[in-house]
Structure 1
Amino acid sequence: MRLISRSAFAAAYLCVATVAATYNGRIKPKVMIMTFFDAEGEIYLTKSNATGALDFRGMRHRVPYASPEFPDLHCTADGDACLMTTGEAEIQATATTMALLADPQLDLGETYWVLTGVGGGAPDQVTLGAITLARFTVQVGMLYEMDARELPPGFDTGYVPQGTVSPEAAWGSVYNSEVFEVNAALRDAFTAMIDPARVADSAAAAAYRAHYAGVPRFAPGAAAPAVHHCDSATSDTWHTGALLAETHAKRVDLWTNGTGTYCTTAQEDGAVLGALVRGALEDRVDFARVAIVRTVSDFDRPYPGQSVMDNLVNGTAGYPIAIENVWVAGDSIARGIINCWNETFRTGIPAQNYVGDVWGVLGGTPDFGPGRVSGGKPVVLPGAKGQQLGRKTKRGMRRSRFQK
């Protein structure tokens, strides 16, 4: 885990805003803010009247096949920035993302996707209200599960990678949704846009996190909220307790070859990224323009003397500031992209790391997992535009700028 200091903010881009993002009647956003449930989306609409904030009340567009609860895309009047709420959990997030990709009224080829939501946090890495920007998201639900009361001898957890017979195994069956890696250079650029002085805190959150101050390894959890680089774990199952937290931290470490650091829990990150990989295969999106932002609303394990159930039910003192910081991060990033569009973001931020999924279907060589299936070249689906294996075309040349 890397704590981002105030000095990073000093490197933020100072640019002049551009205008006009609708072309031939289609909405062509420079940035798509993705949220996952009502409070996360509403904070952007509520803050739309704040001084200097983006106003997402300027344009509304109904997205066919989106969530019945959140059917509308909310955009600024010029269409430069749009806001979508998917509905909570993996199925909802995937379905809504695919609906966006399939909407003929949207031109998303140059759009930056910024996933912004709240999540649980590991107190040995982050604290309540912290803003985290990830390089990896790991699907920690892709496991066999045994009840702890029936564990085989020598097992310290009931979670075993599918296709294996040991909790210590790294890989077994591979479904290609276990890990996604995004552009670390883009993450760094977005980090520079978030002023640490704007990170919200509260007396209630400070009082709650003080319970962790007596444990040296929980010093990050007892500290005031800040901006961090560390990674998210995706699962629809909410977990609490030190044993499950340690199991999932180990899984993140194993499945990223020791590069990733587990610090937040999430339901939707891997689900959205899985859909965006498919969008990239169809030339609908550029996967090198994706960022994962999570803010910490609660801790994934109790403080000394607290029960796991009490932590789960009553450990939400950080929720209000986590919601506030979803907007702090997302609005800051979106305004930075728009203001620096011509100077920096139109052509993109080249990735120095691998970007994509376990199998490497977008090209490049994954730095995690059991090996690629595409020979280091992008896979092209029948009927899709772009690069056939072994033959460069416009898409292949464009993507080569963004990933090794």
Structure 2
Amino acid sequence: MLPFLTPDLCHAQTPWPVRVVIVTTFENGADKGDKPGELQLWAEREHLTETISFPGNEHPILSNPEHTEIAIVTGMSLVNAGPSVMALGTDPRFDLTHSYWLVAGIAGIDPKIAPLGSAAWARYVINDVAQSIDSREIPKDWPYGIYPAGAKRPASLNGADVHYGPNAPYPIVFPLNAQLAHWAFEETKQVPLMDTPEMRAYSAGWSSYEATKGKPKVIEGDSFASDLYWHGNYLNQYARDWVKMFTAGKGIFAMSNMEDSAIAASMVRLDHMHKADFKRLMILRTASNYTVPPTGKKAYQSVEEKYPDEGLPAYDAAWHVGSIITHKIMNNWDTFKDNVPD
């Protein structure tokens, strides 16, 4: 373990040129050897044997001995994820100007898209800055009570300020590097993913959705991030509409989570500061649960249901798919250092 580095030592040290940053959001216990969370399989399988103190975050940084691959735990939710990424991005011990950042986290999946254990490469990250009224008071012809600031009704930008890009006062849509995302998808689309009897039995409750009947797969699908842990059919339709609306019909809601828009916003700012390259941000989310209740249950009855296999298929998919891209970049650094894959 490295000793705690004072600010003076940090500035005196030649920064480590990091090739890949693995971004996870939580760990269930120890980093190795027990019930895994998002970090553990990376720590064990990528041989991240070095622990580096991280004063800007609650969890230390893990690194390979060469300091070319590092992994962080941001903490869950937007309010934790953004500051953690900014803290790393401004840490003088690391040169992140050419680094690829890979968010590898679990998520809730729309059962209209794919079954549990699937993995989605995002082309867009969508935030949930919105206006909302009590659902018991919404007009009868409204599908739900959430709508864009200034708009007249849900699922419409009529009357709203349409400037919602990454540098807008209310950043809602973050277009990622779609070419990079598609390259990652093409490189991993044939990867076999964990498929267990418990997953199949669990998914039977969503058998009215054709997409839940097949095997887990790698797809291209977009990320909707909110500090609200939501669940249910009405809010799921809101997420579908919201992603479609703010991507001009190009995005497809696939994965719900609580971190990605804050991570993307931080990367935009680090890019402006010449500390990181936003074009090298990749977001991979894997399905641990569904965003709507199973047939015959209300949302409040299923929101706290345990993940099948304790979430292991989703954790495994994040490493299994993400590590292919990580190794491709790491092992071909002479090419990828100055040339972003397309």
- TM-score band, normalised by the shorter chain? 0.7 to 0.9
- Aligned-partner SS, 1:272: helix
Q: Which residue of 2 aligns with 1:27?
A: 16
Q: What CA RMSD, in Å, does the superposition of the two structures yield over aligned residues?
A: 1.8
- Aligned-partner SS, 2:93: coil
Q: Which residue of 1 aligns with 2:5?
A: none
Residues 216-256 of structure 1 deviation map (CA, whole Å, 9 limit, x = unaligned) = xx111222100000101000111111111011100100000
Q: Which residue of 2 aligns with 1:106?
A: 94
Q: Which residue of 2 aligns with 1:342?
A: 334
Q: Which of 134, 139, 157 is 1:170 aligned to?
A: 157
Q: Which of 80, 84, 87 is 1:92 aligned to?
A: 80
Q: Are the counterparts in 1 of residues 191 and 321 from structure 2 also a CA contact under 8 Å?
A: no
Q: Which of 166, 171, 174 is 1:180 aligned to?
A: 174
Q: Aligned AA for 2:196?
A: S
Residues 338-387 of structure 1 deviation map (CA, whole Å, 9 limit, x = unaligned) = 112223x1222266xxxxxxxxxxxxxxxxxxxxxxxxxxxxxxxxxxxx
Separation (CA, whole Å) in 2 of partners of 1:30 and 1:44: 15
- Aligned-partner SS, 2:286: strand
Q: Aligned AA for 1:165?
A: K
Q: Does 1:55 align with 2:47?
A: yes
- Aligned-partner SS, 1:118: strand
Q: Which of 223, 226, 243 is 1:252 aligned to?
A: 243
Q: Are the counterparts in 1 of residues 189 and 219 from structure 2 also a CA contact under 8 Å?
A: no
Q: CA deviation at 1:24?
A: 6.3
Q: Which residue of 2 aligns with 1:264?
A: 255
Structure 2 residue ranges without an equivalent (≥5)? 1-11, 28-36
Q: Which residue of 1 aligns with 2:233?
A: 242
Q: CA deviation at 1:271?
A: 0.3
Separation (CA, whole Å) in 2 of partners of 1:350 and 1:297: 29
Q: Are the counterparts in 1 of residues 127 and 261 from structure 2 also a CA contact under 8 Å?
A: yes
Q: CA deviation at 1:285?
A: 0.8
* Superposed counterparts of 1:266-285, under 5 Å: 266-285=257-276
Q: Which of 184, 197, 200 is 2:194 aligned to?
A: 200
Q: Are the counterparts in 1 of residues 25 and 74 from structure 2 also a CA contact under 8 Å?
A: yes
Q: Aligned AA for 1:157?
A: Y
Q: Does 1:228 align with 2:219?
A: yes
Q: Does 1:77 align with 2:62?
A: no
- Aligned-partner SS, 2:111: coil
Q: Aligned AA for 2:64?
A: T
Q: Are the counterparts in 2 of residues 193 and 336 from structure 1 also a CA contact under 8 Å?
A: no
Separation (CA, whole Å) in 2 of partners of 1:29 and 1:330: 17
Question: In structure 2, do the counterparts of structure 1 residues 235 and 194 end up closer, same or farther at CA, with 3 Å as the change threshold?
Answer: same
Q: Which residue of 1 aligns with 2:42?
A: 44
Question: In structure 2, do the counterparts of structure 1 residues 315 and 300 end up closer, same or farther at CA, with 3 Å as the change threshold?
Answer: farther
Q: Aligned AA for 2:77?
A: A
Structure 1 residue ranges without an equivalent (≥5)? 1-22, 49-53, 352-404
TM-score, normalised via structure 1 length? 0.74
TM-score, normalised via structure 2 length? 0.87
Separation (CA, whole Å) in 2 of partners of 1:192 and 1:76: 27
Separation (CA, whole Å) in 2 of partners of 1:320 and 1:182: 28
Separation (CA, whole Å) in 2 of partners of 1:339 and 1:154: 56
Separation (CA, whole Å) in 2 of partners of 1:309 and 1:317: 18
Q: CA deviation at 1:195?
A: 6.5
Q: Are the counterparts in 1 of residues 232 and 292 from structure 2 also a CA contact under 8 Å?
A: yes
Q: CA deviation at 1:151?
A: 1.0
Q: Are the counterparts in 2 of residues 209 and 223 from structure 1 also a CA contact under 8 Å?
A: no
Q: Are the counterparts in 1 of residues 192 and 217 from structure 2 also a CA contact under 8 Å?
A: no
Q: Does 1:329 align with 2:318?
A: no
Q: CA deviation at 1:303?
A: 2.3
Question: In structure 2, do the counterparts of structure 1 residues 315 and 242 end up closer, same or farther at CA, with 3 Å as the change threshold?
Answer: farther
Separation (CA, whole Å) in 1 of partners of 2:211 and 2:318: 20
- Aligned-partner SS, 2:121: strand
Separation (CA, whole Å) in 2 of partners of 1:176 and 1:148: 24
Q: Are the counterparts in 2 of residues 94 and 275 from structure 1 also a CA contact under 8 Å?
A: yes
Q: Aligned AA for 1:147?
A: D
Separation (CA, whole Å) in 2 of partners of 1:76 and 1:193: 24
Separation (CA, whole Å) in 2 of partners of 1:197 and 1:158: 40
Separation (CA, whole Å) in 2 of partners of 1:231 and 1:272: 15
Q: Are the counterparts in 2 of residues 26 and 107 from structure 1 also a CA contact under 8 Å?
A: yes
Q: Aligned AA for 2:176?
A: V
Separation (CA, whole Å) in 1 of partners of 2:140 and 2:323: 51
Q: CA deviation at 1:162?
A: 1.4
Q: Which residue of 2 aligns with 1:397?
A: none
Residues 238-296 of structure 1 deviation map (CA, whole Å, 9 limit, x = unaligned) = 11111110111001000000000001101100100100100000111111111010000
Separation (CA, whole Å) in 2 of partners of 1:167 and 1:184: 28
Q: Are the counterparts in 2 of residues 123 and 222 from structure 1 also a CA contact under 8 Å?
A: no
Separation (CA, whole Å) in 2 of partners of 1:227 and 1:321: 13
Q: Which residue of 2 aligns with 1:369?
A: none
Q: Does 1:152 align with 2:143?
A: no
Q: Are the counterparts in 2 of residues 201 and 224 from structure 1 also a CA contact under 8 Å?
A: yes
Separation (CA, whole Å) in 2 of partners of 1:315 and 1:231: 24
- The alignment-based identity, stated in percent, is 25
Q: CA deviation at 1:182?
A: 0.9
